[in-house]
Amino acid sequence: MPSFEGDLRAPEGARFAIIASRWNARITETLLEGARKAMADHGVDEDAVDVFRVPGAWELPVIAARLASTGGYAGIVALGCVVRGDTRHFEHVADGCSEGLMDVAMEFGLPVANGVLAVERVEDAEARAGGSHGNKGEEAAMVVIEMSDLLARFS
């Protein structure tokens, strides 16, 4: 039985987009550094990565959809951080962002990695942005590279 799996190398000539939220900037900048490092470590030239910044996690899906619609990217990494507060706003933003990013991926058949942390406390975010749980920005970038390679095999 044939088995297919992507590699951690970008397809020839592939361009990638990283969208980073400015909200909780201390966390998202660390996620962005991790994503950029992962791209470089896996052979993606810095000039093949465009970085876009948006106000918060809620805005990530709309720019992801616009970028996907151009057909110019092999994958998109979305980075943000939503910390639970005293209201239901956390659920609205985290869930809406996640669903929106999945909608973009499905509509355009494009890898869209959800590197948006949805955490209870800032300390939980710090653990996932270069702390004890690694860097989720780095992991999201690696997912996009692998998936873009896998999808390129079927084009």
Binding residue positions for (2S)-2-hydroxy-3-oxobutyl phosphate: 86-87, 128
Binding residue positions: 23, 57-59, 81-83, 86-87, 114, 128
Q: How confident is the model over 89-134, as pLDDT tens digits?
A: 778 888 999 999 999 999 999 999 999 999 989 998 898 898 888 8
Q: Report domain extents, the chain.
A: 16-149
Return the CATH number of 16-149, one of 3.40.50.960, 3.40.50.170, 3.30.1360.40, 1.10.357.10. Answer: 3.40.50.960
Vertex 118: Cα angle to 151 and 17 (nearest 5): 35
Q: How confident is the model over 4-59, as pLDDT tens digits?
A: 888 899 999 999 999 999 999 999 999 999 999 999 999 999 999 999 999 999 99
Positions annotated as catalytic residues are: 89
Q: pTM for the full model?
A: 0.94
